[in-house]
A = this chain, B = another copy of it.
Amino acid sequence: MTRLNRPQFQQLGIIGCGLIGGSFALALKRAGLVKRVVGYSKSPSTTEVAKKLGVIDVAAESALLAVSGSDLVLVAVPVSATEATLRAIRHLVQIQPQTLFMDVGSTKADVAIAAQKVLGDLASQFVPAHPIAGKEKAGVQNADALLFQGKQVVLTPLPENSAAEVQRAAGVWAALGCKVLKMTPENHDAAYAAVSHFPHLLSFAYFQSVMRQPSGREFMELAGMSFRDFTRIAGSDPAIWRDILLANRDEVLHQSQRFRSVLDRLEHWLKEGDAGALETLLRQVSEARAKWTPAFTDPDDGTPSSHF
């Protein structure tokens, strides 16, 4: 078991040297789990910065070359690029049956479909993962060896994965200080649509509706703590959230339906002046919210995960 919990790798291949990929490389180095890190990014300048910062040891000129000779590979690209990336490395997945592949996407059903479509049986080597960690400032320059410590990582194993392969993947994240959860891609997407993806959509929509109304700018100059906290996630990365919301749109739209029915009810009570019904709901929510505590807290509270 110890061997599983403290896995050793000769070479880590990172495809996508961003905040998450870079932090993963630094974390594995810090934990002494890997001898060498080879990295590839779509933009050569990013790979260069990663090398200068010591995040990676070798800059690869292609995704395929980052995989070559690596016994651990992390695909850390935007979810919309996952399928193309898997296609680009498919050949070496076949040639390196001992290599463990993982991704870090915030949506998982789409990744499962892409993996099975592109890799087929080779998908047994690919264990989809979603580390619930990040920063509002993206980019390898913000990479942090402690980014994953004390955070949750969700594994959504494929039918092709052996129990041993899943355990091996779990061991990697556990060694970085993560709490490892396992669920189906469908349950993952439903859960995070509810507690993360949909509230991001709400916050973006709300901020836009205030910003775009006559006097909206003046109104915002009067806003304080409630507005600050309620709209913090509206400052998240547009490209990342475009991808997440589209990749998980069915679940997000399902959450929106549920939400609208509650909002309809509240508006009805306001129009009717039904103070009793209104207070009852507000009280139920207020009491439940007082009891709730976050699954994890960020070490630096100021910059919570922009992926979550």
Contacts and interface: CB of A to CB of B under 8 A. Distances in A.
Interface stretch (A51-59, A113-121, A268-276): A268-276
The binding surface of chain A is classed by DSSP as helix
B220 A283 contact: no
Contacts of A199: 206, 226-227, 230-231
Oligomer: number of copies: 2
Contacts of A238: 279, 282-283, 285-286
B270 A252 contact: yes
A279 B222 CA distance: 28
Contacts of A234: 285-286, 289
B235 A219 contact: no
A195 interface: yes
Interface in A252-269: 252-253, 255-256, 258-259, 261-263, 266-267
Nearest to A263: B205
A252 to B, nearest CB: 7
Contacts of A191: 215, 218-219, 222
A9 interface: no
Given A227-B196, A234-B285, A235-B286, A242 B278 contact: yes
Nearest to A305: B225
Contacts of A292: 220, 223, 231
Nearest to A284: B208
Contacts of A198: 206
